[in-house]
Structure 1
Amino acid sequence: MSQSTDPTAAVTPPLPLIVSAGEALIDLVTGGGNAWHAHPGGAAWNVARACAALGVPSAFAGAVGQDNFGDDLKRESDAAGLDLRFLQQLPAPTLIAVVYSATPPAYRFLGENSADLLFDPAQLPDGWLSQARWMHVGGISLSRWPLADTLLALIDHAKAAGVKISFDPNARITHRHPDYPAVFERVLRAADLIKFSDEDLDFFYPKTTEEEALRLLRGLNHDVPIVITRGAQGATLYHSAGTVNLPTFPVQVADTVGAGDALCAGLLVSATRRPEAIWTEHLRVGLKAAAVACAHAGAYAPTQADLDAMS
């Protein structure tokens, strides 16, 4: 006798193809006077959200607090279509970035003993490493301990399982930590894709020409594709076939918030969907995603329809 199936039974969703690991936080932005505006953010979380918006199963792997800000991040993660099995809510405060001046930009982080530091990869779903194609890391998470050591171990496990590593250091004041350079070098050596902005390059390689910085990077990782973004001037791709400069896609710019994260998402989504394509093609998708983000206010996550609508 055949067994009947229950159409109402829960179906386990497929595991994500792209996992972005690190920090999710709340940007607490001054509105002038006593007014403050809270916005979900964090480099790793923004990349994951943008990957999901572009239609690839994605997850943010990290921890937030069991507080109102953590609830906000969980709700927005769910709305973005992220795999919530990778988001941990723990009894500690959510990490906060306080942007206390808009012009000139000035900020500080409230994160002592915060939940992000307690992220536990052992609690991630079984089998995720066999499904994931890319794991993205960067932001401030690699300069915050013990989270940095946790992520370094996770990178090693991912590499051993055949998962490719994407790295966007995304320079911030926390990267002045004296122990960060060793972490920076270790992740550079492990990476299968590296993305810097030109400002990042100046931050990490001060008083050094771009040519000299590239020579140092190649000494650590000879074959990795390296993308240098240049704002309105487009981006440069350094890879084994040579050097390519690509222009931006022209848009009416609302602001540039989240453009770098959108570009990373475009690169990862393109590389996941078309691993056989050349990196120039992946970068074009990334630049298109960044342009769409710039055309919208705030950290907008571009959709595939947005990209398809661009020339």
Structure 2
Amino acid sequence: MHDAPLMLCAGEALTDMIYQGDERWVSRVGGSVWNVARALAVLGERTAFAGAISRDRFGDALWAASEAVGLDLRLLQRVERSPLLAIVEQGEPPRYFFIGDDSADLHFDPDVLPEYWSRDLRWAHFGGISLAREPLASNLVALAEKLKEQGVAISYDPNYRNLMDERYAPTLRSMAELADVIKVSDDDLRGLFPGVPLDEALRQLRAAAPSAFCLLTRGGQGASLFHGDQRADARAPAVAVVDTVGAGDASVAGLLHSLARHPGRSLQSHLHAALAAGSAACLQSGATPPPPAAMQQLFELLEGDAS
């Protein structure tokens, strides 16, 4: 496979249907894993998205948006099934549900991927609702296990949603144990470990992968990056926020980009890269990839403040 990808994001690409009031709705391309893939591509990484989308206008929009940022489309499958829709009735506090009992995403088939597609792969990212929807979830966990055996580093962002009930616990454990990078927010921890204090929830999650990088985001309270016994803390740079949708996904991409391109950086600098990407994504509406120039400017600002 010519120019095989170096980075992979495998999971869901979907359409957000967002209520605007007065019975008006607007559709937006999205999906947490797909958002990470687009952000990595914009940041210059040779990235593929592996998943399945529908053959209707919703699938066309996802394909076009993937193509626009230079994603490798050879692993993106199109099937004759309905689209996966996220119905967003309310933004803050969020109220949403999903439509897609037999939708396209569930029919992703790893067995028909092109020959030698993973030969150059260095990183693979998983997460989102794709890991809570069968049979897709089992296929993705098996794919992650296979890639780990090949020496591919695994990134995992559970990105908690309300369909992740007690049945999700084995997947959480399996993916955390495979992970070289875990990204989680304080809200994720509350959802994944109900009734457990945040510090204890984080300890339990990190215990599954004690040598992994673990990025904990806390909204306006800043973020922390853990690696073994090391810890770095920082607050996001002040920006004129247009929209926070996709900021967490962008922060994952920023961290992976930093780890891949600058492995010798300090833990603090890797955290700054993640925060810069997340903040840069907030400068635009929707789940839009962070502009590289804005990310670099914010990264330099954070690095300067820390010196």
Confirm or deny a common fold (TM above 0.5): yes
Match of residue 107, structure 1, among 86, 90, 96 = 96
User: What does residue range 251-262 of structure 1 map to in structure 2 within 5 Å?
Assistant: 251-262=239-250
Q: Which runs of 5+ in 1 are unaligned?
A: 1-11
Residues 5, 118 of structure 2: 8 Å contact kept: no
Q: Secondary structure at the match of 1:81?
A: coil
Correspondence for 2:179: 191
- Does 1:223 pair with 2:204? no
How far residue 132 of structure 1 moved from its aligned partner, in angstroms, is 1.3
Q: Number of paired residues?
A: 299
- Paired residue secondary structure (2:164): helix
Query: What SS class does the counterpart of residue 59 from structure 2 fall into?
Result: helix
Residue 116 of structure 1 aligns with an amino acid whose one-letter code is D
The percent of aligned pairs where both chains have the same amino acid is 44
- Matched with 1:171 is 160
Residue-by-residue CA offset, 1:71-126 (whole Å, 9 max, x unaligned): 11111111111011011000101111011223542111001110100101122232
Separation in structure 2 between the aligned mates of residue 245 and residue 294 of structure 1, nearest angstrom: 20
Of 279-288 and 258-267, deviating more is 279-288
Write the distance in 2 (CA, Å) between the matches of 1:171 and 1:242.
Answer: 26
TM-score (norm 2): 0.93
Which among 23, 29, 46 is matched to residue 57 of structure 1? 46
The one of 29, 37, 53 equivalent to 2:26 is: 37
**Does the 8 Å contact 1:134/1:165 carry over to 2?**
yes
Highest Rg: 1 or 2? 1
CA contact (8 A) 1:55 1:303 kept: no
One-letter amino acid matched to 1:280: Q
1:125 aligns with 2:125: no
Q: Aligned residue for 2:83?
A: 94
Distance 1:94 1:155 in 2: 24
Bigger drift between 212-221 and 56-65 goes to 212-221
- Structure-1 separation of matches of 2:248 and 2:102: 28
TM-fit CA distance, 1:298: 1.4
Q: CA RMSD in A?
A: 1.5
1:75 maps to 2:64: yes
Match of 2:147?
Answer: 158
Moved over 6 A (4+): none
State how far apart, in whole Å, the 2-side matches of 1:93 and 1:191 are. Answer: 32
Deviations 1:13-53 (A, max 9, x none): 51221111100000011121232111100001100000001
Give how far 1:309 is off: 3.0
**Residue 248 of structure 1 aligns with which residue?**
236
